[in-house]
Amino acid sequence: MTTGVVERPSAAERVRDALKRFLPAALLFLGGLATWELVHRVFGIEDFLLPQPSDIAATFAAEAGTVIPAGWFTFQEALVGFLIGAVAAVLIALLTARWTPIQAGVVPFAVAVNATPIIALAPIMNQWFSVTSIWSKAAIVAVIVFFPVMINTTRGLIEVNERSIELMRSYGASPGAILRKVRVPHALPFVFSALKVGTTLSVIAAIVSEYFGGSRKALGVYITQQAALFHLAEAWAAIVVASTMGITFYIAVVLIERAVMPWHASVRGEDLG
């Protein structure tokens, strides 16, 4: 006789599941570093071309007082731009879902802006704002993040099962109620998929925009200066900080996704196929 009580996995089972999920990636990462170190030693690659991981680690420890604050400065630019771009994208998507004709004018414009490379936007934004201002870099990040979030959110709001809409209308639900109870829940997985892509895009856009001028506190400026002097171990140490920023930002959005929509199959780890 079933009691209807769902048994929670034990601590050992959770540890085993975590190992199955993360151990292959960890082993692949460590194996890649070991191969890099071995190839560098066997073939005698010069450090000014490609430093070995052990040298990068030692340099990172020595330069931590410089690269970590620089990473935090750049992350602020990425975060501000990400929030501006994401909020603007969701608002525009809500308008296009409510008034479909708006979509015909907004989507081509968004595609054109998205096709514009960062190297073309950076000098313009530096002129509009101060070259050392956080807003010139945040504006570039906002433009880069806007397109994927807007397109995915619009898709999630519009591509709703018509039978669900008809059922809500049969109960006399207003367009606002349909938006809140049907369209928005359906769009959330699309939104978070775009936001996760936007986390990495925002860090990339912030750093690349700094290559065209910025505060001496910025990570991108530090990388270009060290690379110009052939201090590649220092440059790679800064790249490690940039990668850590992107991964941390991505994980933060994943955790928010799990808190906002724990009911979704992708969050529960179920097969969506």
- Would the CA dihedral through 176, 150, 187, 251 be positive or negative? negative
Nearest to 210 by CA among 229, 233, 234, 238: 238
132: CB partners within 8 A, 6+ apart: 213, 214, 215
pLDDT tens, residue order, the chain (273 aa): 445 544 566 677 777 777 777 788 888 888 888 998 888 888 888 777 788 888 999 999 999 999 999 999 999 999 999 999 999 999 988 888 777 666 666 777 777 777 777 777 888 888 888 888 889 999 999 999 998 899 899 888 888 888 877 888 887 777 778 787 888 888 899 999 999 999 999 999 999 999 888 888 899 999 999 999 889 999 999 999 999 999 999 999 999 998 888 766 555 554 444
Can you say whether residue 253 is alpha, beta or left, with left for phi > 0 and alpha for psi between -120 and 50 degrees? alpha
- Residue 107 CA to residue 132 CA, distance in Å, equals 32
Q: Give the model confidence (pLDDT) of 172-183 as tens digits.
A: 777 778 787 888
- Is residue 154 within 8 A of residue 128, CB to CB? The reply is no
Compute the distance between CA of residue 188 and CA of residue 183 in angstroms, rounded to an integer: 9
Report pTM.
0.83
Long-range CB contact pairs, 172-178, < 8 A, 24+: 175/98
Q: What is the DSSP letter of 156?
A: H
